[in-house]
Structure 1
Amino acid sequence: MSDAMTNGMTDGTTGVTTDGTTDRATDGKADVLVVGSGPTGLTLACDLARRGVAVRVIEQRTEPHRESRGKGLTQESIEALEPLGVCEHMRATGTAEVTLRKYFDGVPVRDTTVTGGLLIGQWQVEQVLRARLAELGVHVEHGVGLLGIEQDGAEVTARLSDGRFVRSRYLAGCDGGGSTSRHLLGIPFEGSTAEEEVMVLGDVTAPGLSRAVWHQWFTSDGGGVLLCPIPGTETFQLQASRELDERGEPLPPSLESFQRLFDRHARMPGVRLADATWLSSWRVNVRMAARIREGRAFLAGDAAHVHPIAGGLGMNTGIQDATALGRTLAAALGGTAGEDVLDAYGAERLPVASALLADTAQRMERVLAAVREPGVGTEAGLG
Structure 2
Amino acid sequence: MVAVADVLIAGAGPTGLTLAVDLARRGVACRIVDKEPVFATGSRGRGMQPRTLEVFDDLGLLDAVFAHGSAYPPMRAYQGSEVVWEGVMSEPTDPTPDVPYPNGWMIPQWRTAALLRERLAGFGGQVELGTELVALEQDEDGVIATLSRDGRAERARLAYVVGADGGKGAARRLLGVPFEGVTQEDFRVLVADVRVTGLDREHWHLWREPMIGLCPLGGTDSFQLTIADPERELATLADLAGYVAERTGRTDFRLDGLTWLTEWRPNTRMATRFQVGRVLLAGDAAHVHPPTGGQGLNTGVQDAYNLGWKLAAVMGGAPGSLLATYEQERLPVAAHVLGLSTRLFEQRTMTRGREERQLGLSYRGGPLAVDDRPAPGVLRAGDRAPDGPWEGKTLFDVFRGPHWTLLEFAGPAGAYDVRPGTWVLVRPDGYLGVVTENPATVDACLGHLGCARDDVVTARV
Identify whether the pair has TM-score above 0.5, normalized to the shorter chain.
yes
Which has the higher Rg, Structure 1 or Structure 2?
A: 2
Q: 1:240 aligns with which of 224, 227, 240?
A: 227
CA distance in 1, matches of 2:133, 2:313: 26
In structure 1, list runs of 5 or more residues that go unmatched: 1-25, 246-250, 371-377
Deviation at 1:265, TM superposition (A): 3.6
Correspondent of 1:209 among 194, 199, 216: 199
Per the alignment, do residues 29 and 152 of structure 1 end up closer, same or farther by CA in structure 2, a change over 3 Å counting?
farther
Tell me whether 1:90 sits opposite 2:65 in the alignment.
yes
1:1-383 alignment, distance < 5 Å: 26-113=1-88, 114=90, 115=92, 116-162=103-149, 163-218=153-208, 222-245=209-232, 251-335=233-317, 337-367=318-348, 370=349, 378-379=350-351, 383=355
Structure with more contact order per residue of length (Cα contacts < 8 Å, sep ≥ 6): 1
Kindly indicate whether the alpha-carbon contact (under 8 Å) linking 1:200 and 1:253 is maintained by their aligned counterparts in 2: no
Number of residue pairs the alignment of both structures matches: 340
Distance (whole Å) between structure 1 residues aligned to residue 53 and residue 211 of structure 2: 31
Q: Provide the rounded CA distance (Å) in 2 between the counterparts of 1:105 and 1:137.
A: 53
2:231 aligned counterpart, secondary structure: coil
Distance 2:257 2:309 in 1: 42
Answer whether contact 1:214 1:226 (CA < 8 A) is retained.
yes
State the alpha-carbon separation in 2 of the partners of residues 90 and 264 from structure 1: 37
State the AA in 2 paired with 1:225: I
Q: 1:241 to 1:261 in 2, by over 3 A?
A: farther
Q: Distance in 2 between matches of 1:74 and 1:104?
A: 31
Verify the 8 A CA contact 2:215 2:224 in the aligned structure 1: yes
1:94-124 deviations in whole A, cap 9, x for unaligned?
A: 1134222222454213333444011100000
- 8 Å contact from structure 2 (residues 161, 280) kept in 1: yes
TM-aligned CA deviation for residue 356 of structure 1: 1.4
**Structure 2 CA distance for aligned equivalents of residues 359 and 314 of structure 1:** 11
Query: Whole-Å Cα distance in 1 between the matches of residues 118 and 296 of structure 2?
Result: 22
2-structure distance, mates of 1:27, 1:197: 46
What is the rounded CA distance, in whole Å, between the counterparts of 1:320 and 1:103 in structure 2? 37
- Give 4+ residue runs of structure 1 displaced > 4 Å after superposition: 380-383
Distance change >3 Å, CA 382–CA 244, structure 1 → 2: farther
Contact 1:33 1:172 survives alignment (8 Å): yes
User: For the residues of structure 2 that align with 1:156 and 1:73, how far apart are their CA atoms?
Assistant: 34
- In structure 2, C-alpha distance between the alignment counterparts of 1:347 and 1:329, rounded to whole Å: 15
CA distance in 2, matches of 1:205, 1:197: 26
Gaps of 5+ in 2: 93-102, 356-461
Deviation at 1:268, TM superposition (A): 1.9
User: Taking structure 1 as the reference length, what is the TM-score of the superposition?
Assistant: 0.85
Question: 1:203 touches 1:279 (CA, 8 Å); kept in 2?
Answer: yes
Per the TM alignment, residue 90 of structure 1 is displaced from its structure 2 partner at its CA by 0.5
1:22 counterpart residue number = none
| Secondary structure of residue in 2 paired with 1:29 | coil
- Secondary structure at the residue paired with 1:166? strand
Q: Compare 90-99 and 300-309 and name the one that shifted more.
A: 90-99
What percentage of residue pairs aligned between the two structures are identical?
41
For 1:167 and 1:324, the matched residues in 2 are separated by: 24
Q: Verify the 8 A CA contact 2:70 2:219 in the aligned structure 1.
A: no
| Partner Cα distance (1:229, 1:382) in 2 | 23
Q: Which amino acid aligns with 2:231?
A: L
Following the alignment from structure 1 to structure 2, what is the Cα–Cα distance between the partners of residues 307 and 139? 28
The structural deviation recorded for 1:380 is 5.0
**Hey, what's the Cα distance between the residues in 1 that align with 2:243 and 2:326?**
44
TM-score normalised per structure 2:
0.71
Are the aligned partners of 1:225 and 1:261 in contact in 2 as well (CA < 8 Å)? Answer: no
Secondary structure, in 3 states, of the residue corresponding to 1:134? helix
